[in-house]
Structure 1
Amino acid sequence: MRLSVGVAVERLPLTKPFHISGHVFTESPVMVLTLCDGLHSGRGEASGTYYLGDDIPAMTAALETVRDGLASGMTRAELQQALPPCGARNAVDCALWEIDAKRAGVPVWRLAGLPEPKPLLTTFTLGADEPAAMAEAALAYGGARALKLKLTGDLDLDIARVRSVRAARPECWMAVDANQGFEADALEPLVAALMDCGVALLEQPLSRGREADLEGFNSSIPIAADESALSLQDLDGLVGRFDTVNIKLDKCGGLTEAIAIARRARQLGLDVMVGNMVGSSLAMAPAFLLGQLCDVVDLDGPTFLAADRRPSVLYADGYIDCPEQVWGHRAPSTAPIATRLQY
């Protein structure tokens, strides 16, 4: 049975500019893929990976190389061989999971052999800003139980940021994300200051390609690999350098490889984290299923958007929950965009 292949490009505005090391974002451009056989449909949303040049034109071009195969019934296994890890493969893979689940009459989690989904404690991310502004933002996340702070590599300013947020929210679990912003000689004073502030996780302090600089560094805080862990092939090289791998579906090319990474990470003795590129609830839903296998969950992407899709994931008391009708089971609502998010 041939499939129709629909592609839409959407630019989802953020409520305010979002700052990380070396970048400022004001919107989240996404590609939405829909596959339909006339009776069942499947959807996937991808943002790509900005620091790899995997943007909307790149994703669109990649999709065109497999469009005919998709229309002819390409499987998820065939997709893994047809495209490398990228945003386009993520969108296609998620769409295939959903249409396959509908055809089988079971939810995606069951089809994938994952645990039955339950609400997950998620971090809420604070963009890099002046220390007082970040403390104010932390207070605005009144229901949050876990926070993640973006750092920029300015050691003194970053330490001030962490101290300010910790003073404002002493009860929260806290992680920091450097987005490759530091040099190796800053690790020791950075970790010492983070320890003093009760920070529980340090994400990607050094640039991709500098992983060997972490060998022999005895960190008192677990270090997570993000940009250093793009796909399954990077995983073995993390051992002895990182403690945790941050899996993002846009980086690794979909739920299929994400599940494989999580299971391989466990075999290697690594903890597992799920993260996201900023996107709507349609992008969070497959990652939420992966989150059932994870130690740390960072799925707050829709909270940065001026509007989300409907139906949407739910945030309450520091947790994310994903009703089954959002993706992967029942037919979606025809209303694509909801009103501005309320916190």
Structure 2
Amino acid sequence: MQNQSLTIKKEKILTGDRATGQLHLGHFVGSLQQRTALQHQYEQTILVADLQGLTDNGHNPHKVSSNILNVVADYLAVGIDPQKTTICLQSAIPALSELTMYYSNLVSVARLQRNPTVKNEIAGKSFGSSIPTGFLTYPISQAADITAFKATLIPVGDDQLPMIEQTNEIVRKLNYIAQDDILVECRPLLSKVSRLPSSDGKSKMSKSMGNCILLDSSERDISKAVKSMYTDPSHLRVEDPGKVEGNVVFTYLDAFHPDAAYVHELKARYQQGGLGDGTTKKILEECLQEILKPIRERRKTFISDKSQLIEILRSGSQKSQEESNQVLNSVKNAFGLNFFQL
């Protein structure tokens, strides 16, 4: 009897990161842990998005090129297996750029400007009137990435939901033109922790803002970051009742501590009075040190062998080229642009 598991086609997942710096705890809890688990159940592709990294770093391309292998090393260090997950480089897959060009004819500038994710990120970047065209149009680029691999499940934070909506709009427009379902719509897979705040609690943890705990942070750096974390400014004495809402230490304990019941107990004690900030920070630091130590050690090994990282990227990109070219060919047919094949 034929093994039934071999006949079931796995659902496809596409995810990735801009190559603008090393990955941090926000990535770890927001997506990397999830990806490590998903690779055993789904056909997963992870895209190192160097082209999208250039959309706000065109003036400093070295920031992108110098971090490509850093990102791959981070993937491997957290347990992403290149034998189970395809890791590829965006700029090494020409079909993605060509699809972006075709899709750009289906989306108006006004629609891009209405995209809430784009509006918020433009405001955060303080571009003023000098918005790079690539930054404004990166929702189209993301749609090209997703559809090129016929991905149906996209792990995202809730702030990225408008990107999924815009991708599906493009899918429907293209399928209407083709009078055939040559592209597939996708749906979001929301992470449990979509935004991890920085230690000061004023913004989310961010590579660009330099307020993050990197996956290869030293013991000293982790300790320093935890000790500086924002708690409850009115909690002046151990016996004072404290607030856990907006208290970054408890936000991190919720995200990283393996014993949820214990964290719940700590919260109750803190709110009643009798639990000091120093104690809660010590508990958090011990938790983070335990999580990051093995990741840091594995990463050190991987980043020292750059030829291995390059080969993983090359192999994954070649596989992805073949897959994306099939979709590109269908899209060109829809536009009547496969002239020499007519």
Q: TM-score, normalized by length of structure 2?
A: 0.26
Name the structure where strand makes up a greater proportion of residues: 1
Higher relative contact order (CA 8 A, sep 6+): 2
